Structure 1
Amino acid sequence: MTAHDLDGVMQVELESFPLPWSKESYLGELKNSFATYLVCDLEGEIAGFGGIWVVFEEAHITNVAIASQYRQRGLGTLLMEKLEAVAREKRAQRILLEVRTSNFPAQRMYKNLGFIPTGLRKEYYTDNKEDAIVMTKFLI
C-alpha cells in the first residue's frame, strides 16, 4: 500500500467497518516501521487490503477488508496468506487478530487458515460494545 492507494482503500474501509479508520491513520501506518499494508489491486481498482504489525516474535493483523462486490472470491484468504508470509519472513512465532463475535464469515475464514480462538476481549468494539474473539495462529 502506498499513499496513492488511499482513496480506494478508504472506499473499501468505509463500506466494511462500522468504526472506520481515517485517511490520516493510514498515512501514519505507512510510516510505521513495524507495519506492512497490502492492497489487492484488480485492474487499477482497490478490491481489498490488509495490514499487519510484526513486533519481535508476535504479529498482529490490524485489519482485512474486501469490497462488497469482490467478497466470496477468495481475496480475503489470499490477503491473509500474503500477510502470513510477511510474518514468517520477519520471523514471527504467532499471529494474533480480533474478530467480532457476530462476524461468522470472517471467523470461518480464519479457522480455515489455521487460526484458533484463544481469548475474548469484552466490549472491545466501542460502537456497540460487542466482544471480540482473539484468534491466534502459531507459526512454529
Structure 2
Amino acid sequence: MIIRPMKPEDMTCVLPIEKACFTDPWSEDGFMDSMKETSAHLIVIEDEPLGIVGYACLYQAADEGEIVNVAIHPSYRQKGYGARLVQALLQLGRELGAERFFLEVRKGNNAGRALYTSLGFTECGVRKGFYDNPKEDAVLMMWE
C-alpha cells in the first residue's frame, strides 16, 4: 500500500471514484485548482495491482486542519484504506503544525461516522441542511 501526493495524471482514476462516491462531485478543474493551493494537501492510496483505490484532502490554516473528500472506491471499502488515508492526513497535518482537525460527514453515513469515531474524532455539532442531492444534515466532527 502506498500513500502519496495526488498528481494531475491521477485524474483518470480519481474522477470515477469521486463520481461513484458523491452525489455532488468535484470537477477535474476543482481538483486541479486544489492541487495548486499551498494550504491544500491531496493524497491518493494505491494498492498493487489495483492501482488508486481512494484519495482524500486536507486544508490547513495555522493550527487547524479540515479533512474533506475522503473517498474509497465502493469495491474496496471495509479493507482499511479509509483509515489509512485519514491517519496519513492527521500525521501530515500535525507535522505542519495542526493541533485539531475538523470534518463534516452526512448524518446518515453510519460507516463514515464509525470510522472517524474509531480514529478519535468526536461529534461536536450539526450543520442543518448542509448537503444537497439529497438534502441532509452534516455532523461536524473534531479531533485534537
TM-score bucket (shorter structure): over 0.9
Cα offsets for 1:6-45 (capped at 9, x unmatched): 1100011010011100010000000000000110112362
2-side partners of 1:110 and 1:134: how far apart?
Answer: 11
- Stretches of structure 2 lacking an aligned partner (at least 5 in a row): 1-5
CA shift at 1:63, angstroms? 1.2
The percent identity for this pair of structures is 36
Matched, 1:136 2:142: yes
Which whole-Å CA distance do the structure 2 matches of 1:34 and 1:100 have between them?
24
Count of equivalent residues = 138
Aligned counterpart, 2:20 = 15
How big is the alpha-carbon RMSD for the aligned residues of Structure 1 and Structure 2? 0.9
For residue 120 of structure 1, give the secondary structure of its aligned residue in structure 2: strand
Q: What is the TM-score normalised by the length of structure 2?
A: 0.93
Query: Structure 1: where are the runs of 5+ without partners?
Result: none
Distance 2:135 2:74 in 1: 24
Structure 2 counterpart of 1:124, from 120, 123, 130:
130
- Distance in structure 1 (CA, Å) of the matches to 2:121 and 2:47: 27
From 17, 33, 42, the equivalent of 2:38 is 33
Counterpart in the other structure of 2:61 = 55
TM-score normalised by L of structure 1:
0.96
- Match of residue 118 from structure 2: 112
Deviation at 1:126, TM superposition (A): 2.2
> Hey, what's the Cα distance between the residues in 2 that align with 1:101 and 1:110?
13
**C-alpha deviation, 1:2, in angstroms:** 0.5
